[in-house]
Structure 1
């Protein structure tokens, strides 16, 4: 039987995997169940923050406005678990086929997850997605790969 922290880490990895599956399956309801009701998300698109699960789900719904099919990859996920809180970081890439039929490979971003164990379930309470910034131009650098 795995140690409690190992079991928690495995559950957190499954939860992050469900984000990947939810986007692939276009399952907004399922995606919403992965987040704490008061989630705060700092994503790459405006506004500066998306507060609450409804705002986070709307943010994911925007993906389907542009994409006919979606592939979401998470790689190099590192998780640290402590009691009822955990955090993780990884690289992620959203790619797929746009509604006009154009295939896009997307860009790699950095993602950080903050999770809380609520009523026995690990839920994403915070996420932050970013790209490196080129200081001189003031533009995000979107062509880097892990």
Structure 2
């Protein structure tokens, strides 16, 4: 009998052996990366797509709760120790109770449901953390009968807690005009800085013109 058959160390590896060895090597590498926290460095389209889809659906459900002013449902999307930066004073709202009161203040400014559209949503995920940024068109009939559609910017940070995603930080902002420190309201999503925005007076005038059917000059005199 040939010596190569008697001594395993002298056998030449066959194609199935080589393939099996490569699979084992990949599995060992992936297990090692999970253990050292470097798993994100290995592309894994299925996992990342699944997480992104979960967060996209999560944010859609949150927006539905905002539109319907369902405060209990809305707060279920936030961590108890949420840190919230809004476009209104103070600088920040901390923990769920303060954030809840701020949402109720926002709800109270509208008569009926809130029109809220999400645009240009971008989501980045890791194993147990994620962040997303987007633009919102906030609209609806406000107290006093005025309708003022407003574009706002939003960034949210999320963590997977006990197997479920929760928002741990949220930041809402509106640009200002540095020349006069007045709020700059974008006329549309991709409006340029020069000529693409309005002050609060221009925004109210536009709303009144639409509501009352007045000509531009008449409304400007009222403003």
Q: Could you state the TM-score of these two structures normalised by the residue count of structure 1?
A: 0.91
Alignment partner of 1:92 out of 106, 111, 136:
136
Deviation, structure 1 residue 65: 1.5
Q: CA RMSD in A?
A: 1.5
Can you list the C-alpha shifts for 1:17-76, whole angstroms capped at 9, x where unaligned?
Answer: 122111222210000000111111111011110111222221111122221221111111
Greater helix percent: which structure? 2
Greater strand percent: which structure? 1
Q: Could you state the TM-score of these two structures normalised by the residue count of structure 2?
A: 0.61
Can you list the C-alpha shifts for 1:71-109, whole angstroms capped at 9, x where unaligned?
Answer: 111111000001111111100122112244x25142101
**How far, CA to CA, are the matches of 2:134 and 2:143 in structure 1?**
28
**How far, CA to CA, are the matches of 1:141 and 1:80 in structure 2?**
28
Alignment partner of 2:66 out of 23, 28, 37:
23
- Choose 1 or 2 for highest CA Rg: 2
Moved over 2 A (4+): none
Greater RCO (Cα-Cα under 8 Å, separation 6 or more): 1
Aligned residue pair count: 144
